[in-house]
Structure 1
Amino acid sequence: METPPHGASEQEQSDFDEVINTHKSWLKSVLGLGALEAKLWVASSAQLLALMCGVIFLLLTTWLLLIATIAVVAWSYGFSLVGILFTATLATFFSSFALLYLVKRTLKNMNFARTLDAVIPTDED
């Protein structure tokens, strides 16, 4: 053990060591909580990604079949093929913007604010 600084008693050094150990323990538990939440978030994200791949495949197939069905019906009623393809392209283009909006909104809601608020509460809580 080190010698106490100028004029510091051994009791003060012991108290100082105890405060340091307490802070180290607190920091270790905070980092452990963050690591645990990160592991849960990554595992949940991987599972969500796998499920969404299946959903995307099914939705894409359904969307293409729906467009093909509408195109066949329109063709049977005498609409021009160019007009049908142009309309299908516009419908697909605008629906991609709707999906992009949903992706941006979902990404905006993914954060670690709850963990941060639990570890370091704000004055408003």
Structure 2
Amino acid sequence: METPQHSDSPQKKSDLDDVIDTHKSWLKSVLGLGALEAKLWVTSSAQLLALMCGVIFLLLTTWLLIIASSAAIAWSYGFSLAGILLTATLVTFLSSIVLLYFVKRTLKSMDFTRTLDAIIPTDEE
């Protein structure tokens, strides 16, 4: 005599296999979607980086042309070449200090501890 449990065992195993296969296919599709999103993100990031390099090049060229134009105007008004070069050097140096200030301020504001605390709260909170 067979007990009903032995006759249901292959059916239960088949149902469990179906659930596992369904979950595996779902996980595979979710991971595939994540991989596709990552590829799109990397491609978009590379394009953005290339565009930003172009913008930086144009801004740098514009800045140098502004300095050169100011130097040419100063030269036409009779300023000495040494004074023009010294002023251009000073303006460029002061500009780099201002940019360094903005870099430091941005790096200081990039604090990931708030995100970490939101994900994994500490006992103190």
Same fold (TM over 0.5): yes
Matched, 1:11 2:11: yes
Structure-2 separation of matches of 1:36 and 1:89: 45
- State which of 93, 96, 111 in structure 2 corresponds to 1:89: 93
Structure-2 separation of matches of 1:42 and 1:25: 25
User: How far did 1:41 drift?
Assistant: 0.8
Matched, 1:45 2:49: no
Q: CA RMSD in A?
A: 3.4
SS in 2 for 1:9: helix
User: How far did 1:74 drift?
Assistant: 5.8
- TM-score (norm: length of structure 2): 0.60
User: How far did 1:63 drift?
Assistant: 1.3
Structure-1 separation of matches of 2:79 and 2:53: 37
Query: More displaced, 22-31 or 60-69?
Result: 60-69
User: How far did 1:91 drift?
Assistant: 1.5
Alignment-derived partner of residue 57 in structure 1: 57
- TM-score (norm: length of structure 1): 0.60
User: How far did 1:49 drift?
Assistant: 1.9
By relative contact order (CA 8 Å, sep 6+), the higher-ranking structure is 1
Alignment-derived partner of residue 118 in structure 2: none
| Structure 1: gaps (5+ residues) | 1-5, 109-125
Alignment-derived partner of residue 20 in structure 2: 20
One-letter amino acid of the counterpart of residue 58, structure 2:
L
Instruction: Flag the 1:42–1:66 CA change in 2: closer, same or farther, 3 A.
Output: same
1:13-72 deviation line (CA, Å, top 9, x unaligned): 011101100110111011101110011111111222222222111111001222333455
Structure-2 separation of matches of 1:30 and 1:86: 56
